[in-house]
Structure 1
Amino acid sequence: MRNSECPPPFFAFLLVIFISTFLLSLSHGLRDSIGENQILRDGDTLVSESGIFVLGFFNGNNINIEGRTTKTMYLGLWYNFSTDTVVWVANRENPITKSFAALQLNEKGCLNILQSKNPNMINGTNDVDVVWSSNSRILVENTKFTNQTVAKLSNSGNLRVTNGGLIWHSFDYPT
Structure 2
Amino acid sequence: MAESLTKLAFLCCFCLFTLPFSHASDSILPNQSLPDGKFIVSSNGAFEMGFFSPDNSKNRFFGIWYKIISTGTVVWVANRDSPLNDTSGALTLTQDGNLIVLNTTNGHVFWSSRGNYTSNTQNPVAQLLESGNLVIRDANDENPGNYLWQSFDHPSDTALPGMKMGKNLVTGLDRVLRSWKNGDDPSMGNYSYLLDSHGFPQLFLMGSGSVERFRVGPWNGETFSGTPTLKKNQIYTLEFVSNREEIYYTVHTINSSVFVRLVLNHSGHLERSSWNHRTQAWTNIFTRPNGNCDNYRNCYGYGICDIKSSPVCSCLDKFKPQNEEDWAGGDSSSGCVRRTPLNCTNDGFIKYSGVKLPDTRNS
Q: TM-score, normalised by structure 2?
A: 0.33
1:158 deviates by: 0.3
Structure 1 residue 47 displacement after superposition:
0.4
1:42 to 1:83, Cα distance in 2 relative to 1, 3 A: farther
| Code of the aligned partner of 1:173 | H
- The answer to whether the aligner puts 1:100 opposite 2:91 as a matched pair is no
**Are residues 108 and 89 of structure 1, via their aligned partners in 2, closer, same or farther at CA, if it must alter by over 3 Å?**
same
**In the alignment, which of 109, 122, 139 is matched to residue 118 of structure 2?**
139
Within a 5 Å distance, the mapping from 1:1-175 to structure 2 comes to 29-60=23-54, 71-80=58-67, 81-116=69-104, 118=105, 127-140=106-119, 144-145=120-121, 148-163=123-138, 164=141, 165-175=146-156
What is the deviation of 1:83?
A: 4.7
Aligned partner of residue 148 in structure 2, secondary structure: strand
Instruction: Encode CA deviations 1:99-123: one digit per residue, 9 max, x unaligned.
Output: 401001001111000114x3xxxxx
- The Cα shift of 1:162 comes to 0.4
Aligned partners of 1:57 and 1:83: how far apart in 2?
A: 16
Give the counterpart letter for 1:74 in structure 2: F
Q: Which amino acid aligns with 2:114?
A: N
Amino acid at match of 1:72: N
Cα distance, 1:137 vs structure 2:
4.7
Larger % of helix: which?
A: 1
Which residues of structure 2 form unaligned runs of 5+? Answer: 1-22, 157-363
Amino acid across the alignment from 1:110: N
RMSD: 1.8
Runs of 5+ in structure 1 lacking a partner?
Answer: 1-28, 64-70, 119-126
Q: Give the deviation of 1:37 after TM superposition.
A: 0.7
Task: Return the letter of the residue paired with 1:78.
Answer: W
From the superposition, tell whether residues 33 and 172 of structure 1 become closer, same or farther in structure 2 (CA, over 3 Å): same
**Mapped partners of 2:97, 2:87: distance in 1:** 26
| Contact 2:61–2:79 under 8 Å retained in 1 | yes
CA distance in 1, matches of 2:70, 2:124: 30
Following TM superposition, by how much is the alpha carbon of 1:98 offset from its aligned partner in structure 2, in angstroms?
Answer: 3.6
Count of equivalent residues:
127
Q: Measure the CA separation in 2 of the matches of 1:106 and 1:94.
A: 20
Counterpart AA for 2:83: P
- State which structure, 1 or 2, has the greater radius of gyration over its C-alpha atoms: 2
2: distance between equivalents of 1:133 and 1:82? 30
CA-to-aligned-CA distance 1:24-67 (integer Å, 9 cap, x gap): xxxxx41100001100011111100010100111013667xxxx
Higher relative contact order (CA 8 A, sep 6+): 1
C-alpha deviations, 1:125-173, integer Å up to 9, x for none? xx22100001115211xxx345x21000001010000013310000001
The 4+ residue runs of structure 1 with deviation greater than 4 A are: none
Change in 2 beyond 3 A, CA 1:58/1:37? same
